[in-house]
């Protein structure tokens, strides 16, 4: 009975309703536009030299920035972040070769990232190449 | 002449809407192809502030974050130590040919001490990444 029925079944020319396709598509576009976040974060760029040798190869004349908690020292002289910026600007690092642009960055235990970031930003903004000084273990 | 213009009949102009669906689907395909799935980890942190931060145009190869509790994340996945970051970054940058492809985003809580974040910074550098440290603009 079932077989017979299926054999007799007529093939109709069914049209796919496409009238609402544009509505669906535009709804999807609106969804994507609303759900997308066009966010660009603000950063500072620092290309830190890797390896111990890089740091050891620097001469004693290499400028050094020390961070001890909230205090900043430049070549063992205390100063604030604005003075550090002025001192680094006076060095005119941007015009020098990369090997001559190295600034050592040393920090004491417990130094918060906020201060570290500020120092890193000032050095990078003045064309310095930051070399981190590791603590001897 | 004025009389003639007054008599002018306004005929309904049919707007062709047949291709609207095609246009819309093309736009969807464009958005799908151009969009990048966010790998930003949902971490709780306070960004540091500086007057030198600027919007970065470079595409980052990896994202490293250290939250307020000191947990380290690499591309949204929690990792155990800075060494894992180094190996992860090294692996991600293995096929890079230019410096532009070596940028690694670094997010860290402003209050974290040096002992927590510095090994991660060194790990990124050892892995070959150029650090893009995220911060907010200080007014």
SS3 content of chain A, % helix, strand, coil (to 5): 40, 20, 40
Residue A113: per-residue pLDDT = 92
Tell me how long chain A is: 137
- Residue B93 sits at the vertex; the CA angle it makes with B88 and B97, to the nearest 5 degrees, is 175
Q: What is the CATH number of domain A52-132?
A: 3.30.420.270
What confidence score (pLDDT) does residue B40 get? 65
Q: How confident is the model at residue B108 (pLDDT cuts 50, 70, 90)?
A: very high
Percent pLDDT > 90 in chain B is 37
Q: What are B11-27's pLDDT values in tens digits?
A: 888 887 778 878 888 88
- The answer for B 45-74 residues in CB contact with A (under 8 A) is 48-56
Most distant pair of Cα atoms in chain A: their distance: 102
- At B80, the pLDDT band (50, 70, 90 cuts) reads very high
Q: What is the pLDDT of residue A12?
A: 66
Looking up tokens 């907010």 gives B136
- Look at residue A135 in the predicted model and tell me its pLDDT: 67
Comparing C-alpha atoms, which of A100, A107, A116, A105 is closest to residue A57?
A100
* Chain A (68-97) residues lying within 8 Å, Cβ to Cβ, of chain B: none
Mean pLDDT value across chain B: 85
Alpha-carbon distance A115 to nearest alpha carbon in chain B (angstroms): 8
| pLDDT under 50: residue ranges of chain A | 55, 57
Give the length of chain B.
139
d(CA A120, CA A128): 9
Task: Count CB neighbours of B40 within 10 A.
Answer: 15
With a cut of 80, say whether residue B91 has pLDDT above it. yes
Instruction: Inform me whether the pLDDT recorded for B4 exceeds 60.
Output: no
- Residue A60: per-residue pLDDT: 62
Handedness of CA B79, A44, A46, A65 (dihedral sign): negative
Contact between A22 and B21 using a beta-carbon 8 Å cutoff: yes
CB atoms within 10 A of CB B116: 18
First CA to last CA across chain B, in angstroms? Answer: 67
Domain ranges of chain A: 52-132
On whether any CB of chain B is under 8 Å from the CB of A127, the answer is no
Q: Does A15 lie at the interface with B, CB-CB under 8 angstroms?
A: no
Backbone φ and ψ for B77, nearest 5 degrees, come out as -100, 135
Token output for B39: 């790998």
Is residue B86 predicted with pLDDT exceeding 90?
Answer: yes
Distance from CA of A33 to the nearest CA of B (A): 9
- pLDDT digit string (tens) for B32-78? 887 776 666 677 888 899 888 888 777 888 999 999 999 999 988 89
* Spatial separation of the C-alpha atoms in residues A41 and A33, rounded to whole Å: 19
User: Using CA of residue A84, residue A129, residue B62, residue A28, what is the dihedral sign?
Assistant: positive
Cβ-Cβ contacts under 8 Å, B56 against chain A: 40-43, 45
Q: In this predicted structure, what is the pLDDT of residue B89?
A: 93
């Amino acid at each position: 009975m079932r077989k017979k029925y299926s054999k007799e079944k007529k093939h109709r020319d069914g049209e796919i309703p496409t009238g609402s396709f544009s509505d669906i598509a535009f709804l999807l576009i609106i969804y994507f536009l609303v759900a997308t976040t066009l966010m660009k974060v603000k950063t500072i760029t620092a290309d830190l030299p890797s390896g111990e040798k890089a740091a050891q190869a620097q001469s004693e004349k290499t400028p050094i920035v020390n961070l001890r908690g909230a205090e900043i020292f430049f070549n063992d002289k205390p100063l604030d972040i604005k003075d550090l910026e002025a001192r680094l600007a006076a060095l005119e690092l941007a015009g020098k070769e990369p090997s001559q642009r190295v600034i050592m960055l040393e920090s004491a235990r417990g130094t918060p990232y906020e201060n570290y970031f500020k120092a890193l930003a000032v050095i990078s903004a003045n064309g310095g190449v930051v070399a981190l000084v590791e603590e001897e273990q | 002449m004025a009389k003639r213009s007054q008599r002018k009949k306004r005929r309904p102009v049919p707007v062709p809407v047949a291709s609207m669906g095609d246009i819309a689907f093309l736009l969807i395909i464009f958005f799908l192809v151009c969009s990048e799935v966010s790998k930003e980890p949902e971490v709780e942190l306070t960004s540091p502030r500086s007057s030198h931060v600027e919007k970065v145009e470079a595409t980052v190869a990896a994202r490293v974050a250290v939250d307020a509790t000191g947990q380290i994340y690499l591309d949204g996945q929690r990792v155990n130590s800075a060494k894992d970051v180094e190996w992860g970054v090294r692996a991600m940058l293995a096929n890079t040919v230019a410096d532009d492809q070596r940028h690694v985003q670094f997010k860290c809580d402003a209050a974290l001490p040096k002992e927590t974040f510095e090994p991660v910074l060194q790990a990124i550098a050892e892995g070959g990444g150029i650090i893009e440290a995220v911060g907010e603009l200080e007014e």
